[in-house]
Amino acid sequence: MGKLKGGTPDNIGDSIALAIEEELNALLLADGLPTLSNGNEEAVRERRRFFCAIGRGVVKHLVARKQSFEIDVDTSANDVYRHPNLTAE
């Protein structure tokens, strides 16, 4: 499993920001509206900057609360708890 990645406008691949962009595109398409541009214009960079800010904020929020993610591993007689490794980058 990969790490959580908020994304940056210059590195949006495999990130929360890209997932947000893809979902917005799907919703636009479902409503018969024009889909998002993927060109090099400033509007694309501004949109991606906004999505990256959301993605990075989500990752920071999760990292700050990583103890909330408890995974109970049954080892028969004893319960062992593992916490996933969450990083902001």
Under the banding of pLDDT at 50, 70 and 90, the label for residue 17 is very high
- List the chain domain ranges: 16-82
CB 27 within 8 Å of CB 67: no
Give the pLDDT confidence score for residue 89 in this predicted structure: 45
Sign of CA dihedral 48, 63, 61, 35: positive
Q: Mean pLDDT score of the chain, rounded to an integer?
A: 85
Indicate the pTM of the whole model. 0.74
Helix, strand, coil percent content, the chain, rounded in steps of 5: 45, 15, 40
Condensed to tens digits (0 to 9), the pLDDT of residues 67-87 reads 777 666 666 666 666 666 655
